[in-house]
A = this chain, B = another copy of it.
Amino acid sequence: MVKVGIVGGTGYTGVELLRLLAQHPEAEVVAITSRSEAGLPVADMYPNLRGHYDGLAFSVPDVKVLGACDVVFFATPHGVAHALAGELLAAGTKVIDLSADFRLQNPVEWAKWYNQPHGAPELLDEAVYGLPEVNREHIKGARLIAVPGCYPTATQLGFLPLLEAGLADPSSLIADCKSGVSGAGRGASVGSLYSETSESFKAYAVKGHRHLPEITQGLRRAAGGDVGLTFVPHLTPMIRGIHATLYATVVDRSVDLQALFEKRYANEPFVDVMPVGSHPETRSVRGANVCRMAVHRPQDGDLVVVLSVIDNLVKGASGQAVQNMNIMFGLDERLGLSHAGMLP
């Protein structure tokens, strides 16, 4: 039984970790921290958990308690994992960070996008980017995991087969992405109010979004060189889900793209390549740790269109975090993650 700690459990990735771990047969949450809610039973904040965590209350972060866990998840704003990860690793506790703290390998770039110095550059060498479809072997031996962002997960998985095979012009990639509102978190902000986001659709951060360097870093690795990516995120009126519509110019029209994608993900338990002509819906992965995709080449032209969907809180955050935990602890990768999406 893996003893689990969670730092920052009051946000949406926190409650989603609790929901997933409640049905995980080999993990037990022994500590969950929140400065603001210390003392409050978790089920008082999240009544869906009533009956599942009856003894568990939020507590003030305490390295001694967390250091006694086998693994600690950070479901925190950026900066927090920087401050605590080193100490936990020193205590022999593995760290799975759902924030952006260790996603970028270059601390200078991190500082530029997050407007503050990187707080733990000495840990970057051993931090492993937790995208199992790329880094499974490294994850097995890792002590520190940077769980990919939600947009980066949907986007990278969609582009990878093309770039790894050298089939797409890497200089003119476009990721037109749409996210549900839960991606903005549980913080009180006018922009995330129901009355501001329902029955409306908009783009945002077209000038530059923090997930851009993360995606670019991953695509560069896949392409074996520089890439040019235009990334336009949009807000769509739903709670969960990301739909990435990806555009790339193919350099060889003769290749069977469907076969390429199917082969690339044939052994991946959580990537589902749909049949030719399909249009994946975000609801088909609601609550599930799946990235579902389809590949099109409209009018048999040069442009390939990949449609890739995830639940931003599961495969885009907490589910992928649990998947990493399973790999790190030698468990069946699908433990606690094998349920179907909820439709309707």
On A, residues with C-beta under 8 Å from B are: 12, 15, 18-19, 22-23, 46-52, 172, 174, 176, 178, 180-182, 186-190, 192-204, 206-208, 228, 230-232, 234, 236-241, 243, 245, 247, 249, 272, 274, 277-288, 290, 292, 296, 298-299, 301, 303, 305, 307, 309, 313, 338-344
Q: Which residues of B contact A281 (CB under 8 A)?
A: 47, 200-202
Closest residue of chain B to A276 (Cβ to Cβ) is B207
Given contacts A199-B286, A281-B47, contact A207 B298 (CB under 8 A): yes
Copies of this protein chain in the complex: 4
Contacting pair A282 B201 (CB below 8 A)? yes
> Is the pair A305, B230 in contact by a Cβ cutoff of 8 Å?
yes
What chain B residues lie within 8 Å of A301 (beta carbons)? 228, 230
Given contacts A48-B285, A232-B305, A283-B48, is CB(A186)–CB(B176) below 8 Å?
A: no
* Known contacts A48-B285, A340-B23; is-contact A245 B234 (Cβ 8 Å): yes
Which residue on B lies nearest to A197, using beta carbons? B194
> Which chain B residue lies CB-closest to A269?
B51
User: By CB atoms of chain B within 10 A, which of A182, A189, A199 has the most?
Assistant: A199
Could you tell me if B186 and A279 are in contact, using CB atoms closer than 8 angstroms? no
Select A193's contact among B46, B181, B202, B287, beta carbons within 8 Å. B181
Q: Which residues of B contact A284 (CB under 8 A)?
A: 46-48, 50
